[in-house]
Structure 1
Amino acid sequence: MSSATSKAKTKVPMLSDQDQPEIQQTYIRLQNELQALARKIGELESEADEHTLVLSTLDEALAEDPDRKCFRLIGGVLVERTVKEVNPALKTNRDGIHKVIATLAEQYKTKEKELDSFKKDYSIRPVQA
């Protein structure tokens, strides 16, 4: 009796031949969504790093000459501004990017838990070559 209870495992639902492709498609879809979120987070982190680099340069220029000309690309148009006008806008943009990254990171964690749960429910394991 004790050997039967010690070997108790989670029951895997019986799958028909029609269910398997559907499960595989769902698994692939979840993996693709995770990859897309990771890719977007990476892009935004890179953009935030660029903003930080530009801001460090502008901070130096702001200390020396706040009315110094600088150019900013807005919607594909290069616009002439002063350092004191551009600096706050860039800080706001960078902070917004960091907020979006945090939101996407939470979505990533949620999606990762969903994928792990799905893998556990259907006893999905990676195929070893």
Structure 2
Amino acid sequence: MSSSKSKSQPSEQEIKQQFQQFQTELQGMASKIGELEQDSDEHSLVLTTLNEVLTEEPDRKCFRLIGGVLVERTVKDIVPTLQTNRDGMQKLIAQLAEQYRSKEKLFDSFKTEYNIRPAKA
């Protein structure tokens, strides 16, 4: 009999809290994905510009902001680092997108399990 009590339905308040937690987590993940996509796009734009310079003047000075400090480097030194950073961001975006889809499926299952439907306006 005690096993049936341990499997009892959560209260309405607990369901609301779980629902809000799912929404908050999904919004946070979507925000982070958007932020990383923007950073990746900025890296791509800079790389496009620097690749043009790289063929003509590989030893040309350029500056990079690292942790709030402006550092002087050459184009040939910066390009590989930027490519590595951009590629890492793109991998992270793909991982976060997969996690987002997983979390979204869990959320959909949760909504189905507790018969939660969107409110009509």
**C-alpha distance in 2, partners of 1:74/1:125?**
47
Matches within 5 A, 1:43-122: 43-122=35-114
Q: Please tell me the root mean square deviation across aligned C-alpha atoms, in Å.
A: 1.2
**C-alpha distance in 2, partners of 1:19/1:127?**
20
**C-alpha distance in 2, partners of 1:76/1:97?**
20
CA deviation map 1:9-41 (0-9, x unaligned): xxxxx96xx700110110011011001100100
Deviation at residue 76 of structure 1 after TM alignment:
1.0
User: Percent identity of the aligned residues?
Assistant: 62
**C-alpha distance in 2, partners of 1:110/1:28?**
17
CA deviation map 1:39-60 (0-9, x unaligned): 1000000000000000000001
Instruction: Extract unaligned runs of 5+ from structure 1.
Output: 1-13
**C-alpha distance in 2, partners of 1:37/1:108?**
7
Deviation at residue 75 of structure 1 after TM alignment:
1.2
Q: Which residue of 1 aligns with 2:5?
A: none
Q: Which residue of 1 aligns with 2:13?
A: 21
The AA in structure 1 aligned to 2:80 is P
Deviation at residue 93 of structure 1 after TM alignment:
0.1
**C-alpha distance in 1, partners of 2:115/2:55?**
61
Q: What TM-score results when the alignment is normalised by the length of structure 2?
A: 0.91
**C-alpha distance in 2, partners of 1:32/1:79?**
38
Q: Secondary structure, in 3 states, of the residue corresponding to 1:120?
A: helix
Question: What stretches of structure 1 move > 3 A for 4+ residues in a row?
Answer: none
Q: Secondary structure, in 3 states, of the residue corresponding to 1:78?
A: strand
Instruction: Extract unaligned runs of 5+ from structure 2.
Output: 1-7
**C-alpha distance in 1, partners of 2:16/2:101?**
21
**C-alpha distance in 2, partners of 1:68/1:82?**
5
Deviation at residue 90 of structure 1 after TM alignment:
0.1
